């Protein structure tokens, strides 16, 4: 009886070890506060990045913001685009993020990118980019969204403080 109990405990410990090892090597996201975590594989530009989700690479477009273009083949690189892209790369490259969807906006855009709020620990990166003047507030499909009021307020604060895009020295002579 004692041998059977020891053997059972041993099997449980081995299975627990395998489960821990598998969870560290699996691409399956970890649930935290109804948000899933993912490693950022690549930052495409100021408002788009790539993650590995459910066995495939996915592009994520930040909800509620728009940064000047740097990679759109239909448009030239826009004023302050390189700076916005560099800021997002500095904040997120190689980091683990949480993404939060907004049912008002929907899960995907017309380019099949995930639409999400991007969280780094307790920091909402969409909001940080607005607050620091790297992005404009952007209302997708003319629909209100969860953090819209906060985002509009953050952009107004950046404009008033004349930071980033809103600095008189940034892109002098270019309409903002």
All structural domains of the chain with their residue ranges? 28-166
Mean pLDDT by 10 residues, the chain (176 residues): 57 43 36 69 97 95 95 86 96 97 94 97 98 95 90 98 94 62
Report the pLDDT value the prediction gives residue 32, as an integer from 0 to 100: 38
Single out the catalytic residue among 58, 69, 132, 155: 69
Question: pLDDT digits over 62-90, tens only?
Answer: 999 999 998 888 888 889 999 999 999 99
Choose the catalytic residue: 36, 58, 61, 83: 61
Give the pLDDT of residue 30: 37
Q: Is 98 a catalytic residue?
A: no
Whether 61 is catalytic is: yes
Burial class (CB in 10 A: 0-12, 13-18, 19+), 13: exposed
The CATH architecture one would assign to domain 28-166 is Beta Barrel (2.40)
Q: From the candidates 113, 131, 137, 155, give the one annotated as an active-site residue.
A: 113
What is the reported pLDDT for 151? 98
């Amino acid at each position: 009886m004692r041998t059977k109990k020891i053997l059972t405990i041993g099997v449980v410990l081995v299975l627990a070890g395998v489960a821990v090892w598998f969870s560290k090597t699996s691409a399956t996201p970890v649930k935290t506060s109804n948000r899933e975590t993912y490693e950022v594989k690549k930052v495409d530009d100021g408002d788009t990045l790539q993650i590995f989700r459910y066995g495939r690479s996915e592009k994520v477009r930040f909800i509620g913001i728009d940064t000047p273009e740097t990679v759109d083949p239909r448009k030239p690189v826009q004023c302050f685009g390189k700076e916005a892209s560099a800021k997002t790369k500095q904040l997120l490259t190689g980091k683990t993020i949480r993404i939060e969807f907004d049912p008002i906006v929907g899960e995907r855009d017309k380019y099949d990118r995930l639409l999400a709020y991007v969280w780094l620990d307790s920091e909402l990166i969409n909001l940080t980019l607005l607050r620091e003047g790297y992005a404009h507030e952007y209302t997708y499909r003319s629909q209100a969204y969860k953090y819209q009021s906060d985002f509009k307020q953050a952009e107004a604060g950046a404009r008033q403080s004349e930071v980033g895009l809103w600095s008189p020295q940034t892109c002098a002579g270019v309409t903002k």
